[in-house]
Amino acid sequence: MIVKCYNQLGKVVSQTRLPSEIFGQKLNSDLVHQVAVSQMANRRRIIACTKDRGEVRGGGRKPWRQKGTGRARVGSIRSPLWRGGGVTFGPTKERVFKKKIPKKMRRKALFMVLSQKLREGEMIVLDKLNIEAPKTKEIMKIIKNQILRIKTVNQNLKEKKRKKEKSVLIILPEINKNIILSARNIPKVKTIQAKDLNVLDLLNFKYVLMPKEAVKVIKETFITNSKLKAQNSKPQPKTQN
């Protein structure tokens, strides 16, 4: 699969070949949804937490004697019936939201989303991506050049009202401090390493911007390394003397 490579000004400078086993997959929306939901659940943080009557401080002494006062019998001031007491059936930190998805399903869904981005013209492959110094103005020029070029090609797209229209995910083959520092203050722009690519980040952004070196890292991480691990995990046949 051959695609065009653009420079930082938005002009075609060369062509590159993308592996069809990654960028040529058919979309299965059910699988992508299942993986995205599992990733959102795994990222969920437990914020709401209440204390039951055993965790609230105080209440070790019986407020008054059991009989003879004319009042209702009470064993502790930390009863859920009292103000300042424990909470019955409240949210706790012991809740578990994590969901397990097999590695093959996660990898397959990732390839599907990448293929769909490429088919819809939302993926931009650059010949190179480099900035001499961390300047937000420089990375903004690169992003605007690429997005304006896509909009002129796809003039029939009616997506002006979508909030995700100007969001960009920059995939880096390795850590580049100049690009990371330049893009971190721009709203709806995020940088991520190719080895950490996942379905949820791809779905949260409209456009994907990456240099062609990132394609090699994606292939090595999700195909080559996985095949090597599978071969090493297979039991070796026993040799008879």
161, pLDDT greater than 60:
no
Asked whether the beta carbons of 5 and 16 are under 8 A apart, the reply is: yes
- Residue 190, beta-bridge partner list: 169
Closest among 3, 40, 26, 241 to 115, alpha carbons compared: 26
Asked whether the beta carbons of 190 and 183 are under 8 A apart, the reply is: yes
Asked whether the beta carbons of 176 and 156 are under 8 A apart, the reply is: no
Asked whether the beta carbons of 85 and 56 are under 8 A apart, the reply is: yes
95, pLDDT greater than 60:
yes
CA-based torsion, 158, 161, 166, 167: positive or negative: negative
64: left (phi over 0), alpha (psi -120 to 50) or beta: beta
**pLDDT value at position 59?**
83
**pLDDT value at position 223?**
86
Could you say which architecture CATH assigns to the domain 2-44+102-230? 3-Layer(aba) Sandwich (3.40)
C-alpha distances out from residue 107 to 57, 181, 190, 233, Å: 48, 29, 21, 18
pLDDT category, 160, cuts 50, 70, 90? very low
For the chain, the domains span: 2-44+102-230, 46-96
**pLDDT value at position 226?**
64
| Three-class DSSP category at 39 | helix
Q: Give every CB contact of residue 71 below 8 A, 6+ residues apart in sequence.
A: 64
**pLDDT value at position 237?**
64
233, pLDDT greater than 80:
no
206, pLDDT greater than 80:
yes
Average pLDDT over residues 177-188: 92
Question: β-strands 123-126, 207-211: how paired?
Answer: parallel
pLDDT category, 123, cuts 50, 70, 90? very high
